[in-house]
Amino acid sequence: MDEQQEVHKGLVGVYADTTAISKVMPETNSLTYRGYAVQDLAENCRFEEVVYLLWNGELPNRRQLAAFEKEERAERRITPRLRTVISTFPRRGHPMDAIRTAVSFLGLEDPETADNSPEATRRKALRLLAKIPTAIAAHHRIGHRLRVLSPRADRTFAENFFHMCFGKVPAPEVVKAFDVSLILYAEHSFNASTFTARTVASTEADIHAAVTAAIAALKGPLHGGANEAVMHMLQEIGSPERAHGWINDRLEHRALVMGFGHRVYKSGDSRVPTMTKYAEKMAAVVGDTRWMEISRILAAEMLEQKNIHPNLDFPAGPAYHLMGFEIPMFTPIFVAARLSGWAAHIFEQAADNRLIRPLSVYTGAAQRPVPSMRER
């Protein structure tokens, strides 16, 4: 292999393009969306404002926000046909597969699928933003043989999701914690699913194709699926008394501990303190502190023994559990949030597109003649 053929396995350290959407700064463990620190956005904005920011480069004023929300709220309904399709999905299927299939179906139904103009792509992004939560909630309700609930146009994005899943909107502090999680999950530069979305968009395929592929990438336990894996792990541990023994055993066997480590952040994920604060609040609201107690022990041991910090999925998993969501809903919620970042990157890719097509260094057999059947 000569110098020109140096392989960057996992594209570690490779700058694939420029972006003006978000900046991950591992030196200071910080993350900004369009220049604003993500923890400031989480404390001071609603998710809808952050989506507007990601898509337009600036935070909305009151009038712009009202117009954006009106458009989003008007698009929340899914067709009876999509509801019927969802009801035919195998019951044991994972909701991530269901939402991936539903988004693919939304592409078939969308009146502008074939129109890849920037204006049509933005309209399609808004429809996806509005309809994905409805499809997730419909799948959840159908799976539990419950009546599917129509979205409510008089509720915020976060409130409406609770309404569609559970038929009621919880206390404001629970809605705020959920909204914070959506903001923290919204965007994270060239992560695997976003890069997937950009790769598909670079072929000039439509936004539904790019988002379907991004959902497929997000499902994996090394990416979005980690928030579910974290809660399974906490449940397996069960009680704070068992946490030390459990983690020592894992580390002795050099096994992965889910919710820890990050490709870019090596000394802490900027989103973790904010999400942990809200997960602790959820524990206090629900009166169940066990999961956060276990979490504190795991985080301390991982830091002491491996110098590895938790990532956002670590506090998000127990936070969603405490909000009442069942574990297979966690990564679909991540989809509902990250759609905003994926769409921003699809717009950006299309605005200055070049087909994404890296090289590979061939290590297979040298060129040879095809032997006849008798010679094989």
Whether 223 is a known active-site residue: answer yes
Whether 262 is a known active-site residue: answer yes
Integer Cα distance of 361 and 327 in angstroms? 40
Tell me whether residue 157 or residue 185 sits nearer to ligand COA (CB atom). Answer: 185
Pairing of strands 36-37, 30-33: antiparallel
Interacting positions 230-289 with ligand COA (CB under 6 A): 256-263
Q: Residue 308: left if φ>0, alpha if ψ -120 to 50, beta else—which one? A: beta
Whether 249 is a known active-site residue: answer no
Contact between 217 and 196 under an 8 Å Cβ cutoff? The reply is: yes
Interacting positions 149-168 with ligand COA (CB under 6 A): none
Q: Which residue bears the tokens 């399709």?
A: 85
Contact between 297 and 242 under an 8 Å Cβ cutoff? The reply is: no
Q: Does residue 301 touch ligand COA according to CB under 6 A?
A: no
CA 105, 110, 112, 118 torsion-angle sign:
negative
Q: Does residue 226 touch ligand COA according to CB under 6 A?
A: yes
Select the span of 32-40, 89-97, 132-140, 308-316 touching ligand COA (CB under 6 A). Answer: 308-316
Q: How far is the CB of 178 from ligand COA (least distance, A)?
A: 19
* Contacting residue, 313, 322, 325, 332, with ligand COA by CB under 6 A: 313
Half-sphere exposure of 187 (CA within 13 A, CB side): 33
Q: Which residue is nearest to ligand COA (CB)?
A: 261
Tell me whether residue 134 or residue 227 sits nearer to ligand COA (CB atom). Answer: 227
Question: What's 28's DSSP letter?
Answer: G
Q: Which of 262, 309, 321, 345 is catalytic?
A: 262
Closest CA relative to residue 257, chosen from 224, 234, 277, 241 = 234
Tell me whether residue 10 or residue 80 sits nearer to ligand COA (CB atom). Answer: 10
Catalytic residue set: 223, 262, 313
Q: Give me the residues that bind ligand COA (CB under 6 A), please.
A: 10, 222, 226, 256-263, 306, 308, 311, 313
